Every structure is written in C-alpha cells, then in structure tokens.
Amino acid sequence: MADNTEAMQNTADSEAPDYASMTADELFERGKHNSKIVKDYAEAAECFSRCVEIRSANNPYDNALRECYLWYADSLLTKEEENQSMFASAVDTGTDGSLPSAETVLENAGQKEASDETLAFEMFQIAFHCYKDFLESQSSKGPEMEKEVLDASYCCVRLGDMFFTNNQFPEAAAEYQRAVELRRQYHVPERHLASIYVSLAQCQMFSGQLGLALRTFTESKEIMMRLLMGNMTDEEQQRMKDTVEDVDIQIADLKKLIESVSTKTDNQGSQCNAADLVPQTTVCYIQCT
C-alpha cells in the first residue's frame, strides 16, 4: 500500500506544471487555455499570477499589462463565484476611489492569507487604469478600438457585479454607468449595451431611485426591441424576448410604485421609504459583454 501511495505521489508530481521553466507568454497562453477551455480557474489564476509577476517587474502600471491583469482578475472572481464565496462585508473602494498601489497588490498576491475576491477587485481596478491609459494614448476612436473598449468597460462591469452581489447598489450603479458611458463614447454596437442597462436599472431600483430606474429600464427595452429586428439565432432571440417580458413587468411595477409614493407623500405628515417598496426582481440577464 505504501508503494502504491508513493507511486501515485510521484505520478502527480511528474504531471504538475513546471511553472518555473515557462516564459511569461507561455504562462499567459496556458492561463487563457485553463480559463476558456478547461474551466480550471484556480490553475488559470496561478498562471496569470506568475505571468504578471514577470511582466510587471519594471513598471506594474505599464498599459501593456492590461490584458494580463484583466484575465487574472476574472479568473480569480469566477473561481470565487463558483465557490459562492464572496465578500462577507462591504467592499472597500479605497480612499476617494483612489487606485490601489500596484506594488502592494502584487506583493499581497503572493501571501497565502490574501483574499481572492479582494485581490480580484483590486486587479480589476488596476486593469481598468491600464486600459484607460492605453485608450488615452490612442488617437483613434473608431471600430478598430472596439475590443479594447469592451475589455476596458468589462472591468467596470465586473466591479459592478461584485458590488451588486454585496448589495452595494449605489456603488454598483456607478460602475455600470461608467461602462455605459465608455461604450457610448466609442460608439460600440448596441448589442453590447442592453445587459448593462438592465443591471444599471436594477441598481437604481434597489437604491430607491424609482424614476431614474424607470427611464433606464425603458431605454434598455428600446435597445432590445431594435436588436430583435436584426440578425440573431433563435436561441438569442428567445432569450432576449424573455428579458423584454421581464423588463415590461418591472416597468409596470415601477409605474405603480411611483404612483404609490406620490400618493403617500401628498398626505401631510406621511413618510415613505421608496426603497422599501421595491419588489424583488425577476429579470433574467441576457449574455452580453
């Protein structure tokens, strides 16, 4: 039995990746493969961590690192989402929303006690900083920048998702709004806007901003109705129709709530907390990055 155990251990050791012998490019490609194909987000994060460590040696804020930071952050967050192990307390955005020190973040990444969700949050912040720096260095705002803009705004979307999961709706709304504004600025096709508008409207609704949420839900529906007139698969079309139906329900409920709030506040001396009147949403998210 002891011999078998030793043999199994030797086999496992021989199959373990030799990270030390890999270049930064090899680590990056292996990380992407583990994230996209194998769905092994733990090993993907390990690869990206080592890749970032190598590439950031000279300047951790180099915008050439933007994609590596993004993949690293997304692997960490996806791993935590699969484990359903997210923030136990409010997410700290930093002093006045300031960017965390990349040197400190990278140093903490090597500590076993480092929290993956906190590390992911900070990596998304640094990734967005690098993408923003890159976009500002480019003179073009045309279609050729679409991938970079989508990736940059995806950082904001994922930061918003983390706030949303933790019921920090004003902070989530700010991130979703930032993603919308960036995609609008670069005239990204509307198919990349619909789902963010739904998320933004939900945050506004849960924050008690009923009128604003109503306008955002209405705008999201208008976008989806235009998209339904274009080319899409039957599955995509059905998913979007289902989302439109749910948005219609939210719009109808919000109109009733706004009327209810208006009626109550018209009564002298009455008090009404609009946020308490917001129902639980049933909106299903359409897949869109």
Question: Is 11 a member of any domain?
Answer: no
pLDDT of 288: 42
Read off the pLDDT of residues 54-102 as tens digits, 9 standing for 90 and up.
999 999 999 999 999 999 999 999 998 888 755 555 565 554 455 556 5
Measured between alpha carbons, how far is 190 from 236 in angstroms, rounded to an integer? 15
| CATH code where residue 158 lies | 1.25.40.10
CB contact set of 234 (below 8 Å; sequence gap of 6+): none
Domain count, the chain: 2
User: What range does the domain containing 60 cover?
Assistant: 24-83+100-138
Which bin fits 142, alpha (ψ -120 to 50), beta or left (φ > 0)?
beta
Read off the pLDDT of residues 15-26 as tens digits, 9 standing for 90 and up.
678 999 999 999
pLDDT of 109: 61
Position 272 pLDDT exceeds 70:
no
Are both 150 and 128 inside the same structural domain?
Answer: no
pTM of the complete model = 0.80
pLDDT of 93: 57
CB contact set of 129 (below 8 Å; sequence gap of 6+): 61, 99
Contact 278, 289 (CB under 8 A): no
pLDDT above 90 covers a percentage of the chain that reads 67
Closest CA to 83 of 75, 71, 92: 75
If you average pLDDT over every residue of the chain, what do you get? 83
Position 249 pLDDT exceeds 50:
yes
CB contact set of 67 (below 8 Å; sequence gap of 6+): 151
Which stretch of 98-102, 147-151, 198-202, 251-255 has the lowest confidence by average pLDDT? 98-102
Are both 286 and 169 inside the same structural domain?
Answer: yes
pLDDT of 87: 54
Are both 108 and 161 inside the same structural domain?
Answer: no
Contact 283, 202 (CB under 8 A): yes
Helices marked H in the chain = 2-15, 24-33, 41-55, 66-82, 102-109, 116-137, 146-165, 169-185, 194-206, 210-228, 234-266, 274-277
pLDDT above 70 covers a percentage of the chain that reads 75
Are both 41 and 123 inside the same structural domain?
Answer: yes
Helices marked H in 166-190 = 169-185
Question: Is 191 a member of any domain?
Answer: yes
Position 142 pLDDT exceeds 90:
no
What is the amino acid identity at position 156?
C
- Residue 1: CB atoms within 10 Å: 5
Contact 154, 135 (CB under 8 A): no
Are both 255 and 170 inside the same structural domain?
Answer: yes
Measured between alpha carbons, how far is 86 from 184 in angstroms, rounded to an integer? 31
Question: Is 16 a member of any domain?
Answer: no
Q: Which two tokens stand for residue 222?
A: 């208008």
Closest CA to 186 of 233, 136, 226, 227: 136
